[in-house]
Chain A
Amino acid sequence: MLQINCPFCGPRDESEFTCGGEAHISRPLAENCLSDKEFADYLFYRHNPKGLFLERWRHAAGCRRWFNIARDTHSHEIIEVYAMGSKPKTAAARKAYEQNWRRGTAAEAAARIGANPAGANPAGAKQKNRSGK
């Protein structure tokens, strides 16, 4: 059982947490220029590496807060815990972020502010670029 260092509560057993899968998946707003295939990159396709993986966790049986961790899926080593909406700082995790196949996808580009058809985005106008994406 992993020991995860909750940024709000400190180190706790894995059984207190739930894993929310891959981190840094930007959500394109509904009105976009994406084809179904491009949209599927956001909706369905997930990275599944053997090695360092950036993923979202939630302290379900504790503070119920979400955060990101950089975990090696083979060794289970957790090299960084960092806030939701920020990018990892350690070099290895940074590299994992930058080299993720998703970085070049149309779905991710469509999630950037201003990427959507003009005037189609009142909800998005309020949205900050807090994921650093």
Chain B
Amino acid sequence: MSRKKLKANPMRIAVGGSRIDTSQPLSFTFDGRSYTGFKGDTLASALLANNVHLTGRSFKYHRPRGIMAAGAEEPNALVSVGTGARLEPNLKATQVELYDGLSARSQNRFPSLRFDLGAVNSLFGRFFPAGFYYKTFMWPASFWMTYEHFIRHAAGLGRVSDEHNDPDRYERMHAHFDIVIAGGGMAGLMAALQAGVSGQHVLLAEDMPVLGGWLNSVKDMHIDALAATDWADRAAERLQQMGNVTILKRTTLFGYNDHNYLLLAERVSDHMAEKPGHLPRQRLWKVRARQVILATGAVERPLTFASNDLPGVMLASAAQTYLHHYGVLAGQRAVLMTNNDAAWHSAFDLHEAGCGVRLIIDTRAAPAAALLRRAEALGIAVRAGACVTAAHGGTRIARIEVASTDVDATRVTSDTEHYDCDLLLMSGGLNPLVHLHSQARGKLKWDEKTHCFRPSGVHEAEQSIGACNGTFGPASALREACAAAVRAVKANGGDAVLAECPSVTAASFNWSPMPVWELPSGHPAGRGGKAFVDFQNDVTAEDIRLAVREGYHSVEHVKRYTTTGMATDQGKTSNINALALLAEARGTDIPSVGTTTFRLPYSPTSIGMIAGRDIGGLFDPVRTTPMDGWHRRNSAKFEHVGQWMRAWYYPKDGESMEQAVSREVRAARTTAGLLDASTLGKIDIKGPDAAEFLNRIYTNSWLRLGIGKCRYGLMCKDDGMVMDDGVTTRLADDHFHMTTTTGGAARVLDWLEEWLQTEWPELQVYLTSVTEQWAVATLSGPAARDILQAAGTDIDLSDENFSFMSMKEGYVSGLPARLFRISFTGELSYEINVPARYGQALWTVLMNAGAPFGLTPYGTEAMHVLRAEKGFIIVGQETDGTVTPHDLDMGWIVSDKKPDFIGKRALARQSMAAHDRKQLVGLLTTDPAQVIPEGAHAVLDPLQQPPVDMLGQITSSYFSPTIGRSIAMALLKGGRGLSGQKVYIPMLDGTDTIEATVTSTQFYDPKGERLNGKS
């Protein structure tokens, strides 16, 4: 490896960096300044290559922060990437792949990264303890709005784009695999090879753009006599040649759900300078796996000491990755602070490459002799049984204080000495990434030897292998990978063809670190500078002790009170240190403290990807009727009814809604109106037991309904409460046509099916939804018969032949039709059903034929007024699931002769006879012009002091153009007994209380004389 550096990148080694292509320079900007990096860089490695360590300000104290890690665990280096609508905040610089023209900005700083006003928070740090916001801003409550404004400005991370239209496209994939392997490092590759040669359908998902994982960060390691990276490349090639193996790079398995349902985020084109139109930006994979193998590796633990958050304080393993993977020196005057052997090897590597490691400090009094010999040979000074007591520097580390400690590293035993440095490597041992295992409800066990939580006991069909299983040695990890893959293949019933487990040559050493959770500082607790545990949320060791002092002992409480582990990195670097400090403060051990629960997502995922294509017009389907085009051409206003778009009213020449609705209502009462009723639910019911079935479903009698006759029916749930209503017609002895409310169509079909399949399977009845097969035009008004005649029909429309509540089949203007003479307006009405494809034709024919009569299209609003004038209920408006037929004064429709129907027994309950049940009544306001707001509450005594006795609520309220005054329906306690009495409706907005008289709900034509068209 040459120490000659590239001109463009002061910290880049010319040769080396196993995954960097120095022939492809890329230019990018950070905070507006231009830099150069190379293909294969991350933003973090490219910044380090340019000797830029300061990347952002911290969350609470606005302290300068730099790059601490090299992967998804990075807590500090959060940046905003992109511009305009593509601006994305809070990305980890360690995961942002460099492309030409990339534009990144630092976050949480004002006015600039180097000079930040918010950093004043740091000076007052003693006044910002754990739970600061809870303590400070809780009183007075009314001030919260004021506080919140400032808090939102002071805290927080990056800002989202001001442009709200995401220009990118996202996709979703659904897939099934025999074996899914998370992590394409050494263990993952080995398991994939083993499963692949055994013929299993395998998915290998790797977070990074290249396979190999830690193999890309080591020197002097050989697998099957190949350099580690060459072995990884060879393995990747072999896997690519297998048709049964799918490899997804840049793909994070972020969610592990029940029954091995996995969520993966694939970043398809984030790393491309030019986003090709045919590719989505990101792809969400929803995968069902028969077996899962987790090979997600481990991350190094930071050490806890004063100012351990300065830029230039870096995990030793991260510096090693920057060196070998990216060919970047993280510093030139480095010091290592550690408690384990592995970090010494990182330091040796870094020293040999030019990092100038001048000192290794180990908390252990007697590190292995071999390590000491090698350090001596390399000319690196060693302080054993010592620790860093504080780091110093402005926006980059410049100096450290070191002191000797006692044998347990709990106490400083000497004066401090100062050492200059520009890079402090820290290593506190390894944390297996057990997140996915934990999401899969697998158990964890504290390993006393390696001082970490390891998977122990699985819930789903999954196995952990390699470093994420606490198996840190490469040879054992490979053996574990082979064995796990064989077990998975066999569990799937496959034949495991044994792939040969390769041999490894690498430095072997002890993986057991000395348990040191906070380095002693020589200062009393709480003094001597902040020692951070959770870097992203600015939680210090002292915060955790304070929480314990204040009575928070459970790990879940301490987590929420201090917010440790609650940042976007989910505490990947902080959790174990926090648990250990909590255990220490409580005077117990780590296993007794336990862990918090890991939840998805493993790392942040974009909302856009989760939404996928379910946005805009595709968010929720819109259902339109066959006549929709006519309504649009005739400037109808629409309303949503469930998923349906229904014509609401048809304003003419600048009419207001009120004027248009009045005109439409008057037309239906005086000449004729035409309503698009196609959305009514329609169910075709057939079978020898159809009549018996209806007899059990509806409250009234159905066995003797004549063929061609219609009947109104009310259905209840088995608790006796009204569920739906509609007119059902007998088409033949064994054939009925049921209509339901528009919104209830699907619910009623499901309801009928449920009873047929689960309670009455002996009934031979078959149900088919035909809602969308029929277009329905309701022709209503005194002129309805004349208009229908003018349109041309072969049906004899005379009362004698075609009476109220009957159905005739025939033709209307040549269109095959079913005519139902039923009425929801109280006028002479025909509901004309034609096959949906003729809907628009029928509408046009009727409008043309009706023109000389003054036929007027009316919408749903006029329909509501017309039915309310007649006192007809709407299920869902006059009912709310607590209303019986008797409450609606519809006892006439409840048969007392039938031995059973749904709801019969419940209606006989004692409580149904209570005198104070809410009952439906009509209300007439004393001031006829005043329309009561729907939903308003009525009281008997307007002068009563609160709490006021509520009488009930207004369910429907309109101005009736027909009778020239306001009308309303209400559900009032004991309502029918109040007939003729005054009730009062107090208004919340301070306007005068409305006075009304209780009446019948039949406001117009109570005798029903208009049904025959006599006006």
Contact = CB atoms under 8 A, between A and B. Distances in A.
Interface stretch (B41-49, B309-317, B753-761, B990-998): B753-761
Given A43-B719, A75-B459, A65 B757 contact: yes
Nearest to B904: A30
B757 A66 contact: yes
Give the interface centre of B257, B696, B758 by most chain A CB atoms within 10 Å. B758
Interface stretch (A45-53, A89-97, A121-129): A121-129
A20 B754 contact: yes
Contact of A127 (B750, B757, B760): B760
B762 A127 contact: yes
B238 interface: no
Given A3-B288, A43-B719, A31 B899 contact: yes
Given A20-B754, A30-B900, A39-B905, A76 B259 contact: yes
Give the interface centre of A30, A32, A76 by most chain B CB atoms within 10 Å. A30
Interface string B914-928: 000000000000000
A76 B911 CA distance: 39
B909 A123 contact: no
Contacts of A3: 259-261, 288
Interface in A62-119: 64-66, 75-76, 84-85
A106 to B, nearest CB: 13
B258 interface: yes
B750 A36 contact: no
A28 B905 contact: yes
B758 A84 contact: yes
B904 to A, nearest CB: 4
Interface in B882-906: 899-901, 904-906
Given A1-B257, A1-B259, A39-B909, A30 B899 contact: yes
B900 A76 contact: no
B88 interface: no
Contact of A58 (B718, B754, B759): B754
A85 B760 CA distance: 10
A126 B718 contact: no
Contact of B258 (A1, A66, A121, A122): A1
A115 to B, nearest CB: 14
B668 to A, nearest CB: 39
Contacts of B905: 28-32, 34, 39
A44 B901 CA distance: 18
Interface residues of A, number: 35
A92 to B, nearest CB: 18
B597 interface: no
B910 interface: yes
B762 A130 contact: yes
Interface string B453-496: 00000010000000000000000000000000000000000000
A19 interface: no
Contacts of B696: 123
A31 B900 contact: yes
A58 to B, nearest CB: 7
A2 B259 contact: yes
B259 A66 contact: no
A47 B376 CA distance: 72
Contacts of B261: 1, 3, 13
Contacts of A123: 692, 696, 899-900
B754 A121 contact: no
Contacts of B258: 1-2, 76
Nearest to B901: A30
Nearest to A127: B762
A66 B754 contact: yes
Contacts of A64: 753
Contacts of A122: 899
Contacts of A2: 258-259
A36 B900 contact: no
Contacts of B900: 29-31, 121, 123-124
A1 B757 CA distance: 26
B253 to A, nearest CB: 15
Contacts of A1: 257-259, 261
Nearest to A116: B899
Contacts of B910: 36
Contacts of B761: 84-85, 128, 130
A123 B904 CA distance: 13
Interface in B750-797: 750, 753-754, 757-763
B750 A60 contact: yes
B698 to A, nearest CB: 13
B63 to A, nearest CB: 42
Nearest to B749: A64
Contacts of B758: 20, 56, 66, 84-85
Contacts of B257: 1
Nearest to B719: A43
Contact of A120 (B260, B459, B899): B899
Nearest to B907: A30
Contacts of A27: 718, 759
A84 B757 contact: yes
A120 to B, nearest CB: 6
A124 B898 CA distance: 12
A28 to B, nearest CB: 7
A29 B762 contact: no
A76 B258 CA distance: 7
Contacts of A126: 692, 762-763
Interface string A1-15: 111000000000100
A122 to B, nearest CB: 6
A100 to B, nearest CB: 17
A89 B757 CA distance: 21
Nearest to A67: B757
A28 B759 CA distance: 11
A44 to B, nearest CB: 8
Given A3-B259, A124-B899, A126-B692, 17 more contacts: A1-B261, A27-B718, A27-B759, A29-B905, A30-B901, A30-B905, A34-B905, A36-B909, A39-B905, A43-B719, A64-B753, A84-B758, A85-B758, A120-B899, A126-B763, A127-B762, A130-B761
Interface of A: 1-3, 13, 20, 27-32, 34, 36, 39, 43-44, 56, 58, 60, 64-66, 75-76, 84-85, 120-124, 126-128, 130
13 contacts: A3-B259, A34-B905, A66-B753, A76-B259, A123-B692, A123-B696, A123-B899, A124-B899, A124-B900, A126-B763, A128-B761, A130-B761, A130-B762
The 8 A-B residue pairs with the shortest CB-CB distance, nearest first, are A30-B904, A30-B900, A30-B905, A3-B259, A66-B757, A1-B261, A76-B258, A123-B900
